[in-house]
Structure formats: C-alpha cells, structure tokens
A and B are shown apart, each in its own frame.
Chain A
C-alpha cells in the first residue's frame, strides 16, 4: 500500500530528527517548570498576604469556622495519636540495639523523647494534617473552582479568600499545636511502654535521663515550628484548590500536589527553623547539653 509505506517513511524520518528535538523539548519543559514554580511561589506569597489582610480586618463568621475546626482539630486527633504511638515504639526498637552496645540503654528515654518532641512530633502531626486535611481542602476548593462556585461567591459580594481560606487557615494555625502535643504525648507514652515493658529498661532511670536532657525549650521549639507548618499547609492547599485545572483530573492533581508541595515545604521549613532554634539554644545556654 502506497500510503502505508509513505507513512512508515515519514515516521522513521521523524524518529531520526527526534533526538535533538526531544532534547530541545526537555529543555523547554524544564524551563517551563521552573517558571511555573517561581510564579507559583510568588502567587502563594501574594495569596498569603491577602489572607492575612482579611484575617486582621474581619474575622470570619462562626458558621464557617466551626466545621473547619471540627475537621482539623477533632477528626484528625485519633490518627495523629495512633501514628504517634507507633513512632515512639519504633524509635525504642531502633535505638535500643545501638545503645545497648555501649551500655547506655537507660539513656533511651532521653533520645526517644528528645527526637519526638523536637522533630518527629511536629513533623508527624504536620504530615498527617497535610495528608488528611490539606488534600481534602484542595479537592474541595478545586471542585468549587471547577463548578464556578468560587465565582458565584465573588459575584454575590462574598470574598472567596475571606469566606473560604481564612477559616481554614485559622483552623490549621490554631489547632496544629494541639495535634503536635498529642503526637508528642502519645509518642512518649509509646516509647516508654516499649522500653520499660518490652525491653526491660529500668523505669526510674528512663525518666531521670529523659528529664535531664529534654526541657521546656524543646517542647516549645517543636510547637513553635508546627505553627509554621500549619500555616504553610493551609496556604498551599487552598492555593492549589483555587488554581485547580478544569475537570476531574484537575481536581485530583490539585489534591495530590497540595500534599506533595506541603510535605516538601514542611521539611524545608523544618530544616531552616531547626537551625535557627539550635542557634538560639546555643546562644541561651552556651555550655549546651550532650547525651553521652
């Protein structure tokens, strides 16, 4: 068939020319991605600024706040508690074998509780919040965007940021400390339970060591960090929802990209805030404290 062979020829021709073109298009894709990221970053900053300005100028109505607080504060607690407990126990399992070699099993309390209160509690609570609440917010707002409900809000003189974003932002900001403390507490309980009852570490020494090394500053630092995580989760997720692409696929993408972006930002914030808090700690207590 003449058309068939003609086409095969055209195809091969295309494949030969394909490589430089493919490289070029990768470069263009990468460039596009970079531009998208930078614009998104700028966008989120503007978005956050507008949220703040509504937050300070007019508090949202109670009927919009309460359901969000319930979603974030009450419904997320069990899952945070459960995962917190497991993280505490896993920490005990993993550190025990290392510490036993140098006969420092009783220091387990210090290392477990320190890691939990400083790092794992806040990050775990934030991750659960991003996964459970953040992606749901992005999907919900995304659906509202796609079905023009956000436009409808604007057309009726209700500002979508004030009506939709501010209550969610407030909910995340106010309630993430409780989630963090819950994760801390359950982690500490889980770690203690496993160390004392399964690994047979002495209860008294476990707590004594823990008390010596873990102070109020660590707890405060963790909760302080979590405030930033909560704000980031709310802003990123709402922003993803507001800029949702049309269709079911767009809503799906908004949901997962809300989680992925939030998680990346949580870890980046964790690093920077961790460094900042550490310098503050050394500034306040120059002699510091060490485990060993």
Chain B
C-alpha cells in the first residue's frame, strides 16, 4: 500500500539533501546555573568530510523577541536546530509555540533578534528570494489551513503544480501516495475541505505539506484531534519521513507519546506572563526521555498532566474576576 514515493526534484533542495547522510543522535543533558537543561548536540556517526557542513545548524534562532501590541509572547529565545534533528516543542496552550514556528518560516516578523535559515535571515529577503527558500519548508498548520475553494486533490497537488513541471498523471500518482500515507482513501480526492472531519483536514494538510519532499518540516500539533491509532500512524509517518532522508523537523505537540516517539530532543517553552524578568523562557532542553524525571516542577507537572497549584491559582483568579463582574453589574 505504501509504495515507494517518487522524489520530487526541485533543484533548490535536492542538492543539499543528498549531501548529508550523517546521523544525529540526541543531546546529552547538562544543567547550568538556572535549572534549565541545556542541550549540546553530538554527532556520533560517520566523521566524513561532509559532516562539518551537516553540523552547521539549519535553523538558528538568535535572541528572538516577538510582541503583538502590548502583549509580549517570546523573549530572548535562542535555539539551534541542526540538520536532521527532530525537535519536539512542548509547552502549555498560549505560550507561543505557534508564534515561534511561524517566525522560523518568516510568517511572523520578530520584534527583535533574528532567525537564520541555512545561514541567512529570512526577514531581510526579497519576495522572490523568499519564495525560493520557502520551497524547502513544509508547514503543517494547526488548523490545517486548506484552501476552501479547492478540493482535496487540488490542495495536495498545489505545491507540485506551482513548483514542478510534472504531468497531471505524475501529480495524481504523488497525490494518491501522499494521501495513502496519512491514511486517507481515494474517495476523499474530490471532496471540499468543508466536507471533511477535523482530523481528516489535518491529515490532508499534512499530505500537502509533505508533497514537495521538504528539507525541513514544521508540524503544528500533527496529532491533535486524531484518534489514538491515527495518532500513532502519524507519529510513524514523521519518524519514517525523517529516516528516509535527512529531513529536519520541529514538532509542536501536547502529546507526550508523540514527543517521546519522534523527538531526538525536547524543548519546553513557558508562558512569559508567569516568568520573572530574568528567567529564561525555555525551561527544558534535552532528550525527551529526560522529561519524565526532570527536577523542575513545572516540567514534570506538564508532562504528567497535573494541574497542581494551577487549579488553585485559576480558581482564585476566577473568584476575583467574578467579584469584579458582580460589582460592576450593580
């Protein structure tokens, strides 16, 4: 069923892809002054001539600040993602994971700091150059963001029609195999996004993001809204995609299974509003197996899904605001 995929030749990306076969394995955990675990990437295999090139981080986030109006979302984020790594990005709802992902692909403009992709800053690029760089990305949106005027087949084939000179038959072939990989039958091809369930939309979005064999995949909650079995199918797909060629991935997830299964490295963001001015926003950065027995309460509570004192905090907040609204009503 899962037949071998045809490689899509977009000349910009195939070159770099074939260069590096060096494998990156995980990170070793160490602790520095503040109780955040800091990752150091170690390349363990094949010290070939090309490994130096491969070791250069594909994505470098340098002192990134993002602010919407008065609301500060990201503060001084530093993050290097080497080629071939799969990074699981976790953190509670609203802490800025999506914003970080969007700033990496240049959809959100940083207030300060920069994001380098393959050594260049996307925010200083011309429209045309940016277009060329973006072909190297695959982005799965949290809400799938399918084009609602097109049917599923047109959605998945969109990047292929834009950037390759394939015949309609070849494109149809690729679309079918991509849909099969995410567990969707041929019958969905002619459906409009509005006629699909939420989980199906997500998977169509995933098929579309993978259509051009990107060098770097950014997944925004790939398994949210899927049943447990389909979640595991998608986890497998992420792992397989990564194994097939040296694809770099960043996976935003709330699902600890996904984080453990696909990630070489886990990074946890913490919402700025609950941090003091000098605390780093990245409170965990290590291999995912370390997540469970991390000494930081904030991390272990998140991983084990315990509300702990948050419940009390929220109840207090609700009571105070309830009091306020009751008073203003009088």
Say if A and B assemble together: yes
Interface residues of A (CB under 8 A from B): 3-4, 7, 50, 53-54, 57, 143-144, 147-149, 151-152, 154-159, 161-162
Whether A147 contacts B145 in the complex (CB less than 8 A), given A7-B330, A154-B107, A156-B159, comes out as yes
Whether A50 contacts B127 in the complex (CB less than 8 A), given A154-B134, A155-B107, A156-B158, comes out as yes
How far does the Cβ of B199 sit from chain A's closest Cβ, in whole Å?
17
Q: What is the chain B residue whose CB lies nearest that of A54?
A: B127
Whether A147 contacts B127 in the complex (CB less than 8 A), given A155-B105, A155-B134, A157-B135, comes out as no
Q: How far is the CA of A157 from the CA of B127 in the complex (A)?
A: 10
- Partner-binding segment picked from B79-87, B136-144, B171-179: B136-144
B107: chain A residues within 8 A (beta carbon): 151, 154-155
Does the CB pair A158–B143 fall under 8 Å? no
How far does the Cβ of B201 sit from chain A's closest Cβ, in whole Å?
11
A147: chain B residues within 8 A (beta carbon): 143, 145, 148
Q: How far is the CA of A154 from the CA of B141 in the complex (A)?
A: 12
Q: What is the chain B residue whose CB lies nearest that of A57?
A: B128
Whether A152 contacts B127 in the complex (CB less than 8 A), given A157-B132, A157-B159, comes out as no
B134: chain A residues within 8 A (beta carbon): 154-157
Does the CB pair A151–B159 fall under 8 Å? no
Q: How far is the CA of A155 from the CA of B216 in the complex (A)?
A: 12
Whether A155 contacts B139 in the complex (CB less than 8 A), given A50-B127, A147-B148, A149-B148, comes out as yes
Q: Could you show 27 A-B contacts with beta carbons less than 8 Å apart?
A: A3-B327, A7-B327, A7-B330, A50-B127, A53-B127, A54-B127, A143-B148, A147-B143, A149-B146, A152-B141, A152-B145, A154-B106, A154-B107, A155-B105, A156-B158, A156-B208, A157-B131, A157-B133, A157-B134, A157-B137, A157-B159, A157-B163, A158-B131, A158-B158, A158-B159, A158-B162, A159-B131
Q: What is the chain B residue whose CB lies nearest that of A4?
A: B330
Q: How far is the CA of A126 from the CA of B110 in the complex (A)?
A: 40
Q: How far is the CA of A182 from the CA of B309 in the complex (A)?
A: 71
A162: chain B residues within 8 A (beta carbon): 127
The one of A50, A57, A151, A161 in contact with B102, judged by C-beta atoms closer than 8 angstroms, is A151
Does the CB pair A149–B330 fall under 8 Å? no
Per-residue CB contact flags for chain B residues 92-108 toward chain A (1 = under 8 Å, else 0) read 00000000001001110
Q: What is the chain A residue whose CB lies nearest that of B134?
A: A157
Interface residues of B (CB under 8 A from A): 102, 105-107, 127-128, 131-135, 137, 139, 141, 143, 145-148, 158-159, 162-163, 208, 212, 327, 330
B162: chain A residues within 8 A (beta carbon): 156-158
Does the CB pair A3–B145 fall under 8 Å? no
Q: How far is the CA of A5 from the CA of B144 in the complex (A)?
A: 53
How far does the Cβ of A183 sit from chain B's closest Cβ, in whole Å?
30
Does the CB pair A149–B147 fall under 8 Å? yes
How far does the Cβ of B102 sit from chain A's closest Cβ, in whole Å?
7
Q: How far is the CA of A170 from the CA of B139 in the complex (A)?
A: 30
A4: chain B residues within 8 A (beta carbon): 330
Q: Which of B106, B128, B132 has the most CB of A within 10 A?
A: B128
Does the CB pair A151–B141 fall under 8 Å? yes
Does the CB pair B132–A148 fall under 8 Å? no
Q: How far is the CA of A54 from the CA of B131 in the complex (A)?
A: 12
Q: What is the chain A residue whose CB lies nearest that of B10?
A: A157
Q: How far is the CA of A190 from the CA of B158 in the complex (A)?
A: 48
Q: What is the chain A residue whose CB lies nearest that of B163?
A: A157
Q: How far is the CA of A4 from the CA of B132 in the complex (A)?
A: 65
Does the CB pair B143–A161 fall under 8 Å? no
A148: chain B residues within 8 A (beta carbon): 141, 143, 145
Q: How far is the CA of A147 from the CA of B159 in the complex (A)?
A: 19
Does the CB pair B327–A151 fall under 8 Å? no
Q: How far is the CA of A54 from the CA of B102 in the complex (A)?
A: 24
How far does the Cβ of B218 sit from chain A's closest Cβ, in whole Å?
8
Q: What is the chain B residue whose CB lies nearest that of A152?
A: B145
B208: chain A residues within 8 A (beta carbon): 156
B327: chain A residues within 8 A (beta carbon): 3, 7
Q: How far is the CA of A144 from the CA of B148 in the complex (A)?
A: 9
B139: chain A residues within 8 A (beta carbon): 152, 155-156
The one of A143, A144, A156, A161 in contact with B127, judged by C-beta atoms closer than 8 angstroms, is A161
Does the CB pair B131–A152 fall under 8 Å? no
Q: What is the chain A residue whose CB lies nearest that of B159?
A: A156
B145: chain A residues within 8 A (beta carbon): 147-149, 151-152
B127: chain A residues within 8 A (beta carbon): 50, 53-54, 159, 161-162
Q: What is the chain B residue whose CB lies nearest that of A7?
A: B330
A157: chain B residues within 8 A (beta carbon): 131-135, 137, 159, 162-163
Known: A155-B139, A158-B162. 18 other contacts (CB 8 A): A4-B330, A7-B330, A50-B127, A53-B127, A54-B127, A148-B141, A149-B147, A149-B148, A152-B139, A152-B145, A154-B107, A154-B134, A155-B141, A156-B134, A157-B137, A157-B159, A157-B163, A158-B159
